Amino acid sequence: MNDEPEWGSMGWSRRRFLGTLAALPAAAACGGSPGAGGGTAGTGTGSGSGTGTVPPDRRGTSGTPSPEPSGPRPLLLGTYTSAEGGGTGIGLASYDPVTGRITGTGTLTGVPDPSYLAVHPDGRTVYAVSERDDGAVSAVRLADRTVLGSRSTGGAAPCHLSVHPGGRWLLSANYASGSVAVHPIDASGALGERTGLVEHPGREPHAHQIVTAPDGRHVLAVDLGTDTVHTYRLDEREGTLTEVARARTRPGAGPRHLTFHPGGRYAYLANELDDTVAVCAYDPDTGRLDIGTGPSTGARGDVTNYPAQILVTADGAYAFLANRGHDSLARYAVEDDGARLRLLGTVPVAGDFPRQIAFSPDGRLLFAANQRSGTVSVFRVDRETGGLRRAGEPFASPVAVCALPL
C-alpha cells in the first residue's frame, strides 16, 4: 500500500503489515482513534501540540483578521533517507506566506529517516523521529541548525511525535513495536533520557500518533494495529503516562490520525484501512473518547483510498482530509459546534499519495507532502468559504512525507 521502506533486520514493512491485518478475521482486531501519521509535524500539523489546529497566538483563520504576512518563512521537510530516491536529511526551504512559493535552501544532515517533525511552542527547536529499527528522536536548534543530540524511543519505527503544550515533554509513537514514549526537554531544547514507555496491548499493536488534548491534561495515542485510541494522563513532574480510558473503532478501521476541534469537545478520526472518517465526542474531565460515525471521504468507489491526516481550521469552521489513492483533499464544513462534518467536495492534490498536510502558522496556506511523487503542493485557504486554490506548481522534494511550515 505505501511506498515505505523495510526496517533493517526486522524484515517488516507497513505494506506487509496492512496486508496481514486485512486478512485477519474481524474478531481479531480491537478498536480506537487519532492519526498525523508518520510524517505530521507535531503535530503533523504545524503546531507544537500536534493536535491539528494552529495555536491561539499564531492563528490567522479566527474571527479577527490577522495582518498580511510579509517576507519569506522557514519550511522544513521530512523524508526517508533509507528509501530509494529519498533525501539525505531534513530538507530546508523557505516559502512566501502570500504566494505560497517554495524555495529550497539546502539539507540538514545528521538525522536518519526524519519522517516526522514537530516544533517546540517557543519556536526555537524542532524535533524529528528516526523511523528505523532502533527508533530515536532528535532535537535541532533552529538558530544555527545544530543537532542537539538524539535519544532512543525504546521501540522500533517511531512515526509521529508532538510536544506537550507546556514545552517540557516530547511524546513519540513507535509504530512497529506498538508503544509510546516520553522524553524530557531541558531549557536549551535538548532531550533527556526517556522517562516513560508504555507498550500497547493486543495483537499486532502499531501506535501511529500521540497528541495532547486541548484541555492539556490528557494525552491520546492512536493505534492503527489494534483499532484503539488510548487516553493517558501525563505526570508532568515525572514524565510518565497512566492510562485512564480506551476507545475502540469498529474492527479493521485502522485509525491513523486524530485532530481536535478547537472547542475541545469533539475530535475527528481518519481511519486508514476502511476509508472512513469518524466524529468523536470527547470529555475533557475524564479523557473519555466516544467514537461515532462521520461523512464520506469523498473518494470514488473505483479507487482504493487510504485517508492519511485530517486538520481543522483555527476558527473551527472547516476541516480538510488528505486522501492517499484518490490523491485529493476532502473539504468539510464543521457544523453543530463541532458535532458534525458535512462533505463539501474534493480538490485534486496535484501529487501522488499525500502522506501529511499542515497549515501555515497564520492558517492562510495548506501544505501537502506527496510521498510517491516527491513533491509538496501548496494551497491558499479561503477564510470565508474553506475553498482551496492551488498556489503555483508543486515543489520537488525527495520522498516528501512531512512539511513543517514555521
DSSP string computed for 62-98: SSSPPPPP-S-EEEEEE--SSSTT--SSEEEEEE-TT
Q: Let me know: does 169 contact 182? Beta carbons within 8 Å.
A: yes
Cell numbers at 169, concatenated: 515533554
Q: If residue 42 lies in a helix (H) or strand (E), which one and from where to where?
A: helix 41-44
Cell numbers at 303, concatenated: 479507487
Q: Let me know: does 373 contact 325? Beta carbons within 8 Å.
A: no
Q: What is the pTM of this model?
A: 0.85
* Exposure of 153 in the CB half-sphere (CA atoms within 13 A): 34
Predicted local distance difference test score (pLDDT) of residue 67? 62
Predicted local distance difference test score (pLDDT) of residue 149? 97
Cell numbers at 248, concatenated: 475502540
Question: DSSP code of 191?
Answer: B
CA-CA distance, 3 to 38, in Å (whole number)?
13
Please determine, for residue 277, whether its predicted confidence score (pLDDT) is greater than 60. yes
Q: If residue 15 lies in a helix (H) or strand (E), which one and from where to where?
A: helix 14-23
Question: How high is the mean pLDDT of the chain?
Answer: 87
Please determine, for residue 7, whether its predicted confidence score (pLDDT) is greater than 90. no
**In which band, very low, low, confident or very high, does the pLDDT at 279 lie, cut at 50, 70 and 90?**
very high
Q: Residues 300-343: pLDDT tens digits?
A: 889 999 999 999 999 999 999 999 999 999 999 999 999 999 99
Q: Amino acid identity, residue 104?
A: G
Cell numbers at 174, concatenated: 513507535
386: region left, alpha or beta (phi > 0 left; psi from -120 to 50 alpha) = left
Strand partners, 306: 324
User: Is the four-CA dihedral 43, 47, 49, 53 of positive or negative sign?
Assistant: negative
Q: How far is CA 194 from CA 72, 322, 352, in A?
A: 36, 32, 36
Strand partners, 146: 141
CA-CA distance, 16 to 298, in Å (whole number)?
26
Predicted local distance difference test score (pLDDT) of residue 301? 84
Give exposure, 328-352, as e/b (b: 16+ Cβ within 10 Å): bbbbbebeeebeebebbebbebbbe
Q: Residues 74-97: pLDDT tens digits?
A: 999 999 999 999 999 999 999 999
149: region left, alpha or beta (phi > 0 left; psi from -120 to 50 alpha) = left
Q: Residues 348-385: pLDDT tens digits?
A: 999 999 999 999 999 999 999 999 999 999 999 999 99
Question: What sections of 130-213 are H helices per DSSP?
Answer: none
**DSSP output for 232-297:** EEEETTTTEEEEEEEEE-STT--EEEEEE-TTSSEEEEEETTTTEEEEEEEETTTTEEEE------
Q: Let me know: does 247 contact 239? Beta carbons within 8 Å.
A: no
Strand partners, 382: none
Cell numbers at 231, concatenated: 487516553
Q: Residues 376-398: pLDDT tens digits?
A: 999 999 999 999 999 999 999 99
By CB neighbour count within 10 A (0-12 exposed, 13-18 middle, 19+ buried), where does 288 fall?
Answer: middle
Please determine, for residue 37, whether its predicted confidence score (pLDDT) is greater than 50. no
Please determine, for residue 196, whether its predicted confidence score (pLDDT) is greater than 80. yes
As a whole number, mean pLDDT of residues 46-53 equals 39
Question: Strand, helix or coil at 23?
Answer: helix
**In which band, very low, low, confident or very high, does the pLDDT at 193 lie, cut at 50, 70 and 90?**
very high
Q: Let me know: does 297 contact 43? Beta carbons within 8 Å.
A: no
